[in-house]
Amino acid sequence: MSWRNFLLVALLVAAAGMVLPRVLENPYYFFAGYVVLQYVVIATGWNILGGYAGYTNFGTSAFFGAGVYTAAFLIKAFEAPLLVQVLAAAGIGMLLGLVTGYLTLRIQGVYFAIATVALVVVLETVVHNSDYLGGASGLTTIAPPAPAWFAGPTQYVFCVMLVLALVAVGIARAIEHSWVGRSLRAIRASEPAAEACGVPTLRMKLAACAISGGVIAMAGAPYPYYASHVDPLSAFSLTIGLNALAMPLIGGTRSWIGPVLGAVLLASVQQITTVTISSEFNILAVGLMLIAFVVLAPEGILGLVAELRERVGRRRATT
């Protein structure tokens, strides 16, 4: 897909999203769709560090929670507009990414994953103990009336999240197709070799941490208006970290479309099982899907597609 086609598709999706609130009556679809889009942003952000550079971030909810609480703080302190909240959350997320990057420069693999888990608990404890942010019981954050076009607050945050998702995917795609993406891939393949070839591995890792953190935190910013209430338990939930890692894995981590596919697929399955069966079976479905994909299709859907293409190609070559 060339840049022009990509932009065209993105514009079409955005336009369709903007028209949707005028067509679809039931706000529930927007309520559920918001979660799916939120995970598109999270999975895409995660993949910049986890997929391209191969650094498994287990603490996605630290960045998400930081975004949520940045927004909640701005609402409480200044009643700042949503755009300011999103930008501030992205800034805080980037800063947090940089700090994480600096703290973990010397460690790789599982150690990096563990360090990011630690980050979640430390942040959660800090929020827990901060009275201004509501402590353990949380803060109530009522959204101001949405612009008339969107028919309701849920539809409004849905459309905001749609735009954020498109921005996130655009960023991921731009990184993937540039020298930045190439050097991250080199780091993933072999860090010493990349260093030897003149890739500034340290700076690239920090950049990846910062961009990934910024995108994930951005996904948290509209959450206070979406849920009308923020508390540490849901903002720093383990489920977010788990989904962030599962979705790119299911879709495929090598390309920007992988996390999008994985997020849409897994989040939809979760939303549907939660409504139709029970929230417990939703977790079970995730567990089974994870194991099935890891064992049968470790490169995700993208890997399956590539394999299929290769097979078809080979068959053509032999006949």
Partner 1 sequence: MVFLDLALNALASGIALGCIYALVALGLAITFGLLHIPNVAHPALVIAGAYAVVLANMRGIDPILAALVLTLPFYAVGLAFYEFYARAFERRGRGNTLQSLTLFFGVSLIVEIALVVAFGTDLRSVSVPYVGRSFELGLIVLPYRFLVPALLAPAVILGLWLYMTRTHSGLAMRAVAHDERALSISGHDPVAIKRHAFGLATALAVLAGAALVIVGPVDPFAGRVHLGRVFAVVVLAGLGSIPGTLAAAIIIGVAEAFVTAFLSPSWAPGVAFAILLGTLALRPNGIFGTAR
Measured CA to CA in angstroms, residue 221 lies from 29, 142, 179, 316 at distances of 20, 14, 30, 50
Q: Which of 17, 21, 33, 54: binder of partner 1 (CB under 8 A)?
A: 54
Stretch that binds partner 1, among 179-187, 203-211, 244-252, 303-311 (CB under 8 A): 244-252
Q: Is residue 8 at the binding interface for partner 1, with CB under 8 A as the rule? A: no
| Side-chain half-sphere CA neighbours of 241 within 13 A | 23
Q: Is residue 58 at the binding interface for partner 1, with CB under 8 A as the rule? A: yes
Q: Is residue 233 at the binding interface for partner 1, with CB under 8 A as the rule? A: no
Q: Is residue 290 at the binding interface for partner 1, with CB under 8 A as the rule? A: yes
Q: Is residue 18 at the binding interface for partner 1, with CB under 8 A as the rule? A: no
Q: Closer to partner 1 at the Cβ: 164 or 194?
A: 194
Q: Which of 87, 238, 264, 265: binder of partner 1 (CB under 8 A)?
A: 238
3-state SS of 131-192 is CCCCCCCCEECCCCCCCHHHCCHHHHHHHHHHHHHHHHHHHHHHHHCCHHHHHHHHHHHCHH
First to last CA, the chain: 30
Write down the least CB distance from residue 188 to partner 1, Å.
Answer: 10
Residues 6+ apart with CB under 8 A from 252: 258, 261, 262, 299, 300, 301, 302, 303
Write down the least CB distance from residue 104 to partner 1, Å.
Answer: 7
Distance CA 319, CA 180 (A): 41
Q: Closer to partner 1 at the Cβ: 141 or 253?
A: 253
Q: Which of 2, 4, 79, 106: binder of partner 1 (CB under 8 A)?
A: 106
Contact criterion met (CB below 8 Å) for 253 and 42 = no
- For partner 1, the binding residues (CB under 8 A) are 50, 54, 56, 58, 103-104, 106-107, 109-111, 113-115, 117-122, 124-126, 128-129, 135-136, 238, 242, 245-246, 249, 253, 280-281, 283-284, 286-291, 293-295, 298
